[in-house]
A and B are shown apart, each in its own frame.
Chain A
Amino acid sequence: MSLSVADLSYTYNMGLPTEAAALKNISFEAEKGEIFSIVGHTGSGKSTLAMHLNGLMVLQSGEVIVDGIRVGGNPSDLRRIRQAVGLVFQYPEQQIFAETVREEISFGPSNWGLSGDALEERVCAAMDLIGLDRSFAQANPFMLSGGEKRRVAIASVLASDPDYLVLDEPSAGLDYNGLCELTSLLRKMSEKGKCVIHITHDLELALEISDRIMIISDGAVAAIGSPSEISGILSDIDIKGLILPDILSLSYELKKRGRIDKITSDPSELAEEIRTASSCR
């Protein structure tokens, strides 16, 4: 069972002078149990792609198939697709609407038929998973800080227990502790057999947590591979908007010049390599 996308293309304002192709023949398959990161520059089409994955956008050409069900096929399948694919938007304000955090988080599962203690348990579990203190349950979500709103948005999607979790720039606006909680949550979800589709411009984070990475550039797939394959590709060719993290890029450069032996993203390890190289001179 997987989420697959084949030859997906999408153009905004088709036929108008401002026509802009956002997606060009995108194809990939994301499996349950993996963290699949989609990385691209600002304006590369990442969010447009995200909104296709649970049928929020009407397909123009190509296919999106979730566990064998075609998005945009039979209208009665849409409910099953939306239950299977949970989407956390780039801006949490875009999906928050309830007056209390509890009401917000319980909206999804209550729509799928949960009620009473089972619903309450689901809400509390989702809050715990994302590190949102239960004292927030009665708070007005609109009065929370940006990072807290993001946690509420993620918890409200987790509460529906989707098999495919699509997160659009989930780390933006989170403090360091929030980021650590998020990465551990994503790992936990993939270990539980969920498919995590992590959409980001943060290449450093993607290299750290992903099983596979797909790079998109100007709406087209530029590369797909493991983190080490992707960092190798990025050290050789320029892809719009993406720069290797500083330590990794310095490490590649010094290795290419024959100054050090090992590629590393760990600053202490690189310092040791440089120290050895310096003492050999």
Chain B
Amino acid sequence: MSSGTTLCLEGAEFQYPETGKKVLKGIDLEIRAGEWVALLGPNGSGKSTLLKLFNALLIPSQGRCFVDGMDTKDQANTEIIRSKVSMVFQNPEDQIVASVVEEDTAFGPENLGLSSEEIRTRVKEALMGTGLWEKRKHAVSSLSGGQKQRLALAGVLAIRPGALLLDEAMSMLDPASRRSFLDLVRKEHDSGRTVVQVTHRLDETVLSDRTVVVADGKIQWQGSTEGFLSLEESRLREMGFAKPPLAVLREELVKNGILPPSTKPDISEIRGKLCLSL
């Protein structure tokens, strides 16, 4: 079991110096060790900026950000914070540094000063886990967009961080790869890691414990993901979301007594229960 990392924002504000635009306006948020939080919001609402505060890529203009109790403002903490909190970006090109698949995956562990044997073990584990082992000797430039997204995740997993930050990390994956990527994240979460996941697809959030909605730089809604997905369609639309079709089906079948209320909006669970009851 890995130990998860605690992430905390206290009155955090952020203003980009280049534009003077205040993107985050007084955010208070605590993410417990081992928790899986889905971070939602419209384009330009400040989600990616918020994530970047957690691994000290950005420092709050006002307020504070703590990682396992360490203030990200203190530069003496930066190195250890980066080893505890790793991020998979929306565009994998932003974080791929080497020209060969296995060399790119080894970059993080090499920077941690690990032994060659340990680096090899971690690279193999990360590439096997992300389904890229067969491509380990390939040029990164020969990978597709989706394969690069998996490579970015492999590079992060090889660091074995306490918290995984996913910034629309599945946006370029086909449905089957998205399912297996989500499965990988589930395993990482089950092993105790904290997960903060930015996405626009509500069907990707069903495994998360909590949902936080950010709009115009402020927290607009937060609570259990189950509670979020059970909100009235009109309330979800007001916030700029549409209820996932499976959540609609689940709700109607629960209302009619065909499925028990404990059923999750998960296709395997619904399929299994329906095949038994029909």
Contact = CB atoms under 8 A, between A and B. Distances in A.
Interface string A172-187: 1111111100000000
A47 B145 contact: yes
Give the bracket for the number of chain A residues in contact with chain B. Answer: 35 or more
Contacts, number: 161
Given A42-B174, A91-B93, A145-B44, A176 B144 contact: no
B172 to A, nearest CB: 6
A169 B176 contact: no
Given A241-B176, A247-B246, A169 B256 contact: no
Given A146-B168, A254-B278, A271 B142 contact: no
Given A173-B168, A176-B200, A250-B270, A148 B43 contact: yes
Contact of B90 (A41, A139, A173, A281): A173
Given A47-B145, A175-B43, A247-B246, A274 B171 contact: no
B125 to A, nearest CB: 21
Interface in A227-270: 240-243, 245-247, 249-250, 253-254, 257, 259, 265-268, 270
B137 A18 contact: yes
Contacts of A174: 43, 200
B249 interface: yes
A242 B278 CA distance: 27
A143 interface: yes
A77 interface: no
A113 to B, nearest CB: 33
A93 interface: yes
B146 A43 contact: yes
A76 interface: no
Nearest to B267: A246
B240 A42 contact: no
A266 to B, nearest CB: 8
Given A174-B43, A176-B241, A274 B137 contact: no
Contact of A274 (B142, B172, B258): B258
Interface string A193-237: 000000001110000000000000000000000000000000000
19 contacts: A12-B142, A20-B138, A42-B147, A42-B174, A44-B174, A145-B48, A148-B43, A175-B43, A176-B42, A176-B240, A177-B42, A243-B179, A247-B246, A249-B267, A271-B253, A271-B256, A274-B253, A274-B258, A275-B256
Closest 8 CB pairs of A and B: A42-B146, A147-B43, A271-B252, A43-B144, A201-B174, A241-B174, A267-B248, A267-B249
Interface of B: 16, 18-19, 21, 41-45, 48, 90-91, 93, 137-139, 142-147, 149-150, 168, 171-177, 179, 200, 203, 240-242, 245-246, 248-249, 252-253, 256, 258, 267, 270-271, 274-275, 277-278
